[in-house]
């Protein structure tokens, strides 16, 4: 019997706020270990889509499943990371990362956090308060904070949008390596074509509101990806093709 490796599935998901339709009819899936990027114009409903997938808001129509179970509310199994870290300002970095697994009764909290601090390059900053960390460090810490609960699915809402270009590229390279190592199913929304192609195994392009998936593209580029990928002729050609369709939409 074939094993279903689908981490996230959404079928016919629609959402409106009063008379304003935001999501038309969304169908998507993310496999275990896969990174799917969602690209769309500003205001098209990308963040609303993530909130519905996370269980923070119910869909008006359609169904969302995580690991085959219907989503009926928020859960640590499908955390969402947004721009700007959501760390407790009065706790050290280590205490922030340990808070989730300890609250869930995980006896391996210290070991888990030690591994994440090492993976994120933040071991030497474990004693610092969030205000003592740089923007890039805080964003790494925010992602590590949700990964500490060992979720099967990660939802990212433009987590690097507030960073400068140089820090953003370093963070993208870091995230590519971390997700490849941990094989966490990930859905990342962005308005940046370059970011969508650099991070994603597949790209879903949304229309203007009410959002619907108008294109699905397999990103067949060699790994590991990073700054060298940006100069790869295949990447340059793919980026130009997607940009042309975005601008003509």
Q: Please say if the pLDDT value at position 129 is more than 90.
A: yes
Across-strand partners of 6?
31
Residues 245 and 172 in one domain: yes
What pLDDT does residue 232 have?
A: 93
- Please state whether beta strands 202-206 and 213-218 pair in parallel, antiparallel, or not at all (unpaired): antiparallel
Residue 206 in this model has a pLDDT that exceeds 90: yes
pLDDT at 165: 84
**Co-location of 137 and 188 in the same domain:** no
Q: Are residues 162 and 144 in the same domain?
A: no
Q: Residues, the chain, total?
A: 249
H-helix or E-strand spanning residue 145: helix 135-147
pLDDT of residue 172: 87
Same-domain status, 107 and 73: no
- 78-128, pLDDT tens digit by residue? 888 887 667 899 999 999 999 888 887 878 888 889 988 888 888 999 999
CATH of the domain at 198: 3.40.50.300
Claim to verify: residue 120 and residue 98 sit in the same structural domain: yes
pLDDT-derived band of residue 231, with 50, 70 and 90 as boundaries? very high
Is the pLDDT at 3 greater than 60, yes or no?
A: no
Reduced to 3 states (helix: H, G, I; strand: E, B; else coil), residue 29 is: strand
CA–CA separation, 25 vs 12, rounded Å?
5
Which residue from 98, 187, 92, 105 is spatially nearest to 147, judged by alpha carbons?
Answer: 98
> Among residues 132, 150, 168, which one ends one of the domains?
150
Q: Flag whether 196 is in a domain.
A: yes
Q: Is 246 among the domain residues?
A: yes
Over residues 135-162, mean pLDDT: 85
Q: Is residue 48 part of a domain?
A: no
49 domain-assigned:
no
State the pLDDT at residue 84.
Answer: 62
Which residue reads 């071991």 in tokens?
123
Q: Are residues 229 and 161 in the same domain?
A: yes
User: Can you read off the two tokens belonging to residue 8?
Assistant: 């996230």
| Residue at which a domain ends, from 150, 165, 188 | 150
Q: What is the mean pLDDT of residues 51-60?
A: 95
pLDDT classification of 4: cutoffs 50, 70, 90: low
- Position 145 pLDDT exceeds 90: no
* CA 30 distance to own-chain centroid: 11
Residue 53 lies in a domain: no
Contact status, residue 205 vs residue 245, Cβ threshold 8 Å: yes
124 inside domain = yes
Residue 180 shares a structural domain with residue 249: yes
Whether residue 181 is predicted with pLDDT greater than 90 in this model: the reply is: no
Q: Global pTM?
A: 0.88
The more confidently predicted of residues 242 and 109 is 242
Q: Are residues 249 and 232 located together in one domain of the fold? A: yes
Residue 210, preceding peptide bond in cis (omega within 30° of 0)? yes
pLDDT single digits (tens) 7-53: 999 999 999 999 999 999 999 999 999 999 999 888 899 999 999 99
Whether residues 36 and 119 share a domain: the answer is: no
Say if residue 169 is in the same domain as residue 247: yes
Q: Which domain holds residue 247?
A: 1-43+59-79+154-249
CA distances from 225 to 45, 150, 170, 180, 231 (A): 28, 24, 12, 11, 11
Q: Domain boundary at 100, 121, 150, which?
A: 150
Q: How many domains does one find in the chain?
A: 2
**Mean of pLDDT values over 163-174:** 83
Average pLDDT of the chain is 89
Is 174 among the domain residues? yes
């Amino acid at each position: 019997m074939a094993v279903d490796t689908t981490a996230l599935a959404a079928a016919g998901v629609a959402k409106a706020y009063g008379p304003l339709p935001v999501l038309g009819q969304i169908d998507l899936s993310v496999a275990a270990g896969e990174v799917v990027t969602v690209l769309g114009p500003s205001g098209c409903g990308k963040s609303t889509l993530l909130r519905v997938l996370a269980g923070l808001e119910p869909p008006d129509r359609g169904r969302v499943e995580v690991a085959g179970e219907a989503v009926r509310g928020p859960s640590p199994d499908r955390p969402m990371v947004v721009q700007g870290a959501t760390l407790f300002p009065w706790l050290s970095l280590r205490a922030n990362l340990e808070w989730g697994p300890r609250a869930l009764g995980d006896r391996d909290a210290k070991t888990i956090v030690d591994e994440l601090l090492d993976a994120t390059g933040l071991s030497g900053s474990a004693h610092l308060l969030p205000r003592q960390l740089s923007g890039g460090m805080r964003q790494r810490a925010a992602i590590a904070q949700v990964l500490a609960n060992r979720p099967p699915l990660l939802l990212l809402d433009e987590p690097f949008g507030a960073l400068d270009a140089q820090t953003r590229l370093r963070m993208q390279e870091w995230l590519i390596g971390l997700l490849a190592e941990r094989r966490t199913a990930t859905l990342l929304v962005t308005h940046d074509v370059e970011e969508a192609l650099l991070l994603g195994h597949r790209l879903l392009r949304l229309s203007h509101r009410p959002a619907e998936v108008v294109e699905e593209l397999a990103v067949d580029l060699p790994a590991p990806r990073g700054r060298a990928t940006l100069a790869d002729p295949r990447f340059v050609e793919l980026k130009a093709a997607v940009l042309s369709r975005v601008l003509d939409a």
